[in-house]
């Protein structure tokens, strides 16, 4: 088990999916007549808010001409915790088809983990920060689902809920008029994702026939079959990614026989 190399990039994909949600935030400034004279896209970067605050505080020339320093946003992953409320059987597996080789794979059920994120909104003006916050909060009630391709090789896509846990606010301003002011809104999120183990080869092929025998008595061991329902794909050689239908047949029996799963015949 341990020592077998695999890397599905699940955490990286979850981080990218979280950041992508907030990379199209804009703020506008209007004049007294209601005409827009400034339309700015809020920059987003990965990293803690302390790094950006330190950059503002350590910049010696406060009058240095720049296009825009604030507002801006930053986010980071700050914790990973196992979620026992979504636990499944540790030995339960399911089959999937490799998208590249079409081979049947055996995959253990994923392990549920909660990944914590912190989104920081830094702004000089409170109205700018409120514009950003108001474009985010209505989507979380308190969760918003994002579809992530967790295991690309088998096409395992799942909806990952992003839950808004809490919001905090601070005004980081101390000193004289030459000191830069930074309003900081901090939004904490939890992403309920899944971590998959290695994808192994399956010794069994695809299931291409389902057969069900109906009995008139609840005691299957003593009663005999009365009807058999069979379902097969059409065409019979269809693969998982093909466009196919199903052929359904029902057969009535009165021979008092039963199907033997071990011998795979009626006895």
**Which residues are within 8 A (CB) of 159 and not within 5 positions of it... i.e. 6 or more apart?**
145, 146, 147
CB atoms within 10 A of CB 197: 14
Question: pLDDT truncated to tens, each residue of the chain (267 aa)?
Answer: 566 788 999 999 999 999 999 999 999 988 888 888 888 899 998 887 666 566 555 554 545 554 347 888 999 999 999 999 998 887 888 878 888 777 888 888 999 999 999 999 998 888 999 999 999 999 999 999 999 999 998 889 999 999 999 999 888 665 555 555 678 899 999 999 999 988 887 656 667 788 888 877 777 666 777 788 889 888 877 776 677 888 888 888 777 677 777 777 777
pLDDT at residue 180, as a whole number: 59
**Which residues are within 8 A (CB) of 55 and not within 5 positions of it... i.e. 6 or more apart?**
none
- The CATH number, out of the four listed (3.40.140.10, 3.40.800.10, 3.30.2000.40, 3.40.50.1950), of the domain defined by the range 10-85+110-195: 3.30.2000.40
The continuous run of DSSP H or E covering 62 comes out as none
Peptide bond between residue 71 and the one before it cis (omega within 30 degrees of 0): yes
Residue 215 · residue 225 · CB < 8 Å: yes
Its pTM stands at 0.69
pLDDT at residue 108, as a whole number: 87
Reading the block at residue 160, the tokens are 């990952």
pLDDT at residue 85, as a whole number: 93
Q: Phi and psi for 154 in degrees, rounded to 5?
A: -115, 5
**Which residues are within 8 A (CB) of 71 and not within 5 positions of it... i.e. 6 or more apart?**
27, 40, 42, 121, 122, 123, 124, 125, 128, 129, 132
pLDDT at residue 67, as a whole number: 39
Query: b/e string for 104-115 if b means 16 or more Cβ within 10 A?
Result: bbebbbbbbbbb
**Which residues are within 8 A (CB) of 222 and not within 5 positions of it... i.e. 6 or more apart?**
none
Residue 121 · residue 129 · CB < 8 Å: yes
Please name which of 195, 164, 185 lies closest in space to residue 81, comparing C-alpha atoms: 195
CB atoms within 10 A of CB 56: 18
Please name which of 146, 141, 135, 125 lies closest in space to residue 192, comparing C-alpha atoms: 146
**Which residues are within 8 A (CB) of 103 and not within 5 positions of it... i.e. 6 or more apart?**
97, 201, 202
Kindly list the domain boundaries of the chain, sorted by start residue. 10-85+110-195, 210-266
CA–CA separation, 154 and 211 (whole Å): 27
pLDDT at residue 137, as a whole number: 95
pLDDT at residue 233, as a whole number: 86
Q: Phi and psi for 14 in degrees, rounded to 5?
A: -65, -40
């Amino acid at each position: 088990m341990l020592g077998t190399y695999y890397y599905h990039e699940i955490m990286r994909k979850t981080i990218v999916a979280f950041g992508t949600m907030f990379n199209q935030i804009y703020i506008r400034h209007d004049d007294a007549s209601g005409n827009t004279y400034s339309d700015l896209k809020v920059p987003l970067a990965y990293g803690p808010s302390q790094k950006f605050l330190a950059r503002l505080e350590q910049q010696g020339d406060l009058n240095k001409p720049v296009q825009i320093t604030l507002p801006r946003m930053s986010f980071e992953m700050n914790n990973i915790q196992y979620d026992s409320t979504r636990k499944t059987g540790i030995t339960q597996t399911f089959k999937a088809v490799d998208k590249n080789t079409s081979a049947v794979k055996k995959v253990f059920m994923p392990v549920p983990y909660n990944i914590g994120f912190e989104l920081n909104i830094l702004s000089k003006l409170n109205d700018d920060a409120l514009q950003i916050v108001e474009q985010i909060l209505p989507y979380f009630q308190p969760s918003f689902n994002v579809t992530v391709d967790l295991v690309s090789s088998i096409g395992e896509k799942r909806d990952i809920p992003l839950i808004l846990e809490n919001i905090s606010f601070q005004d980081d301003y101390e000193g004289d008029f030459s000191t830069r002011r930074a309003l900081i809104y901090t939004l904490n999120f939890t992403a309920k994702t899944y971590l998959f183990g290695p994808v192994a080869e399956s010794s069994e092929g695809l299931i291409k026939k389902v057969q069900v025998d109906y009995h008139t008595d609840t005691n299957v061991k003593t009663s005999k079959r009365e009807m058999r329902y069979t379902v097969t794909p059409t065409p019979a050689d269809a693969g998982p990614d093909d466009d196919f239908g199903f052929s359904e047949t029902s057969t009535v029996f009165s021979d008092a026989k039963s199907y033997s799963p071990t011998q795979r015949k009626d006895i």
